Amino acid sequence: MNSPLHAGTLESLVFDNRFVNELPGDTIKTNRRRQVRGACYSRVHPEKVSSPELLTYSPEVAEILELSPQTCKTDYFAELFGGNQLVQGMDPYAMCYGGHQFGNWAGQLGDGRAINLGEIINSRGEHWTLQLKGAGPTPYSRNADGLAVLRSSVREFLCSEAMHHLGIPTTRALSLVTTGEQVERDMFYDGHPKEEPGAVVCRVSPSFIRFGNFEILASRGETTLLQQLIDFTIRSDFPHLGQPSTATYLKWFNEICRTTAEMIIHWMRVGFVHGVMNTDNMSILGLTIDYGPYGWLEDFDPNWTPNTTDSQGRRYCFKNQPHTGQWNLLQLANSIFPVINDKIPLQESLTLYNDVFQQGWNEMMAEKLGFTSFDPQSDNKLISELTSILPLVETDMSIFFRNLALLDIHPDAQDTDSLLYPLLDAYYQPEQITKEYKNRIGKWLQDYMQRSLQEKLSTRERRSHMNRINPKYVLRNYMAQLAIDKAEKGDASMINDLLELIRHPYDEQPENEIYSAKRPDWARNRPGCSMLSCSS
C-alpha cells in the first residue's frame, strides 16, 4: 500500500476517514462552544503552539503505523503531533457525545480537549485513528481551554503503554510532545492555580467511539441518527457479526457486555483502578480509555480510589469497578433501546455480563494462585478468605502475589513463620502483624499449600505459571511522578527508562529491582503519588 519511495514516512500514511465520510457532521464551521445537534462530530483544527518538541515516542506503536524510527525523530514529526502541521489526507474533527458522570446525566460532553487527526489503514488492513489530546479548544470544550499539561500527559502516555504490555485491552500512545506553552491549572481545585508546561499526547485506537456517543443521540430523541451510528459502528468495528439488523444489534450489545467484563477482570487482576468510570470514558470496543486519576492498588484496600473528586462517595473505588461496568452497560442499553424496542434480550445481555465476570474472576484468581483450573469446592472459600485477610494489614498487592510464587510447596507441615517469610516484603508496617492476624493467614497458607499440592506441578512450572499472570512491575504513581518532576526540569530520561521498564512487566529485571519494591514512605501522601484529580 505504501510506495517504496515514501515507505515509513508521514506522507506514506493512507487515510480513509470513514467516520467523517459516512456520518453527518456539524453544519456550523466556527470553532465556538455550543450545543451540537443532529451531528456526530465537528470539524476543527488543532491550535498551533510556539515550539513543539518530542519528548518520547513508542517504537511499537510507530511500527503498527509503519512509521520508521528516523521519521519519528524529525522536527516535522514533532510539529505534526504537536498540532502545528497536517499531512495530506488528514481531516481533523472532534466527536459529539454525552455521558453519566458519577451516576448523573451530564448532557453534552464531547471531545473537549481531543482532536482526531484522521483514520488510517496500514498495509495489513488494520484501521487506526490518530487523536491528539491537549491540542486546543473544540465546540465541546465548555468553559475549558482544550489544553493539557505535561503532568497528566506523561501519565497518559506511560499508562497506555504499560497497560498494553500487561496484556490489558487499551488504547495506545504514539508520542508525547511538549508545546513550549504555559497552561494554568488548579490541580486540586482548591483555589491555588499555577502555570505548568503544556503537552500533547497522540493516542491511537481502532476507534474512539464511547457509550456516550449513543447516549447523547438517544437523550435528544435523534433516533434516525442513533441507528445510523449503530449501523456504522457494526459495519466498521464489528463486521464479523454480520450486516446491521435487529438480530445483529443484539449480538453487538452482547459482545460489548462480554468485552467490558473481560477488560475489568484484567483491571482487577493487576490491581488497576481507573478512577473515573463515567459512561463517556467507556470504549465500545472494551478498551481501557482516558487515563486521568488512575492508580494501582499498593495497600490492598478494596475501597481505595485515586480520584480526589470521588474521595467521599468512592463510586469508582477498586471493589466497585465490576458493578460500575454493568451500570454503565445499563445506560448504553437504555440508549439503544429505541432502535431495538425489546428490553428482554438487553436484560439477558446484562445478565451475561454478570456470568462472564464471575466465571472470569474465578478463573483469573485461580491463575493468580498458581492453579491450572478453578475448583469451586475448595477455591471459592480460599479466594474469599484471602480477599478478607489482605485488607487487615497494609499489604502491597503486587508484591504479595508475586512473592506467593516463592513459597515452597511440599507435603511436610511448616510453621507459620516459615510460610510467611517469603511474603514479608509485601507488608508496609510489619508491626501491624498481630498474633491473631498471623494465626489467620497461617491457616490460609496451610490450606493454600494443600490445594497447591493437588496441581502436581513442579516448583519451576508453578512459579513460571504464576509469574506470567502476576506482574513484578506496575506503573506506581510515585514512579510516574518522579518522571514528571524530571521532565518539568527539561530531563525526559526517566520517561524513557520507565517506558523500557514497563515493556517487560512480568520479567525479572535485576537492574530495575528498586521499582518492584513497596511505595516509598515519602510518597504516601504526596500529591500525584497518592491522590489525583481530573485536572490536566
Q: What is the pLDDT of residue 186?
A: 81
**Local structure of residue 192 (DSSP, 8 states):** -
Q: What is the pLDDT of residue 411?
A: 86
Q: Note the Cα 230 to chain centre separation in Å.
A: 24
The span from the CA of 94 to the CA of 474, in Å, is 32
Contact 13, 219 (CB under 8 A): no
The span from the CA of 284 to the CA of 167, in Å, is 18
Q: Cell triple for residue 323?
A: 458493578
Q: What is the mean pLDDT of each run of 10 residues along the chain (536 residues)?
A: 64 97 97 97 98 98 97 97 97 98 97 97 97 98 96 97 98 98 82 92 98 98 98 98 98 98 98 98 98 95 94 96 98 98 97 98 98 96 98 98 95 88 96 95 96 93 97 97 96 97 98 96 87 68
Q: Cell triple for residue 168?
A: 490489558
Q: Cell triple for residue 487?
A: 521532565
Residue type, 18: R
What sign for the dihedral angle of Cα 364, 210, 188, 479?
A: positive
Residue type, 463: R
pLDDT digits (tens, 9 = 90+) for 16-36: 999 999 999 999 999 999 999
Q: What is the pLDDT of residue 6?
A: 61
Contact 250, 172 (CB under 8 A): no
Provide the edge-to-edge strand list for the sheet that holds 127-133.
Answer: 41-43, 93-95, 114-121, 127-133, 194-205, 172-185, 53-57
Given the DSSP bridges, would you call strands 98-101 and 41-43 parallel, antiparallel or unpaired?
unpaired
Tell me the catalytic residues: 280
Q: Note the Cα 488 to chain centre separation in Å.
A: 24
Residue 443, C-beta contacts closer than 8 angstroms, at least 6 positions apart: none
What sign for the dihedral angle of Cα 255, 257, 263, 266?
A: negative
The span from the CA of 277 to the CA of 288, in Å, is 10
Contact 108, 115 (CB under 8 A): no
